Structure 1
Amino acid sequence: MEQQQVESFVRDWPASSTAGKEGFIALWQQVQGLSDATLEFHARPGVSYSLRGICRDRASRPLFVMVDVIDDDPRWLSVCFYGEDVTDPEQRGDLVPGGLLGEDGLCFDIDEADPSVLDYVRRRIDEAYAAASIA
């Protein structure tokens, strides 16, 4: 069901937001490819669409990444992690106290097709997944 919802969401993506779409697809595919990870999709049309990477083995905090598509024109991405699960050596993220399901989060905004930003965020996903897998 989640897969069909995400596919429908991507298929109906407005043409004015192609950079965000490409980034979303790349991050979605990355999380899909992680063993023992599952995806949840939460749609709030007009506000955001949230793709959540879940590691069910981590009972206390199964979420390891949340990719939010902010429903503006053009759409942009906010990719958030628990602050203690990732590093930010280039200081590209924003600390959001209590901003990730009530806990401190570290969020990265992607609003253009910049491969270096996307690669940086993808490395944070790998970090967060590793932290979730050993917790």
Structure 2
Amino acid sequence: MVDTSQQQIETFVQEWPSSSAPARDIFLLFLKQLQGLADSRLEFHARPGVSYSLRGVRQERTVRPLFVMVDVIDDEPRWLSVCFYGQAITDPEQRGDFVPGGLLGEDGHCFDIEGTDSSLVAYVQGRIVEAHAAAA
């Protein structure tokens, strides 16, 4: 059986505008990280003209299985907003934003990535690991 989410993700990446290549490279970095996490699966939700959402989900969880949402904001150029449930992560460097009701109706904590700040990308990768562990 072919994973339709994987097909959608591959098509999405292939059609990515060249003007937003830095955001694509960071998206691919997060995608690879999420693919390597145990007991997880990916969901992909496309809303052309608004956002494309890559969601990391813990397979064994029935209550709040989502642990991260990597949204590609469909602007010119594209940029990323990586969101977690507020209680699922820490933000010791206070680099993210608290967003009341911002993650599927619950309080969230989001990190906007509009450039190529490698230290922010690494920091968010750490938050992905933290949220994955908290969802266990």
**Which consecutive aligned stretches of 4+ in structure 1 deviate over 4 angstroms post-superposition?**
none
Q: Partners in 1 of 2:104 and 2:16 — Cα distance?
A: 26
Which one of 36, 40, 54 corresponds to residue 39 of structure 2? 36
Identity of aligned residues (%): 65
Name the counterpart of 1:57.
60
Name the counterpart of 2:74.
71
What letter matches 2:9 in structure 1?
A: V
Query: Per-residue CA shift, 1:7-41, capped at 9, x if unaligned?
Result: 11011100100111011000011001001100000
Name the counterpart of 1:114.
117
User: Aligned to 1:49, what secondary structure does the other structure show?
Assistant: strand
In the superposition, the TM-score normalised over structure 1's length comes to: 0.97
Q: Partners in 1 of 2:108 and 2:63 — Cα distance?
A: 16
What letter matches 2:39 in structure 1?
A: D
Number of residue equivalences? 133
Q: CA deviation at 1:56?
A: 2.2
Name the counterpart of 2:128.
125
Query: Per-residue CA shift, 1:110-134, capped at 9, x if unaligned?
Result: 011111010000000000000001x
Q: Which runs of 5+ in 1 are unaligned?
A: none
Q: Which runs of 5+ in 2 are unaligned?
A: none
Q: Partners in 2 of 1:19 and 1:73 — Cα distance?
A: 12
User: Aligned to 2:22, what secondary structure does the other structure show?
Assistant: helix
Q: Does 1:98 align with 2:105?
A: no
Computed over aligned residues only, the root mean square deviation of the Cα atoms, in angstroms, reads: 0.6
What letter matches 1:26 in structure 2?
A: L
Name the counterpart of 2:86.
83
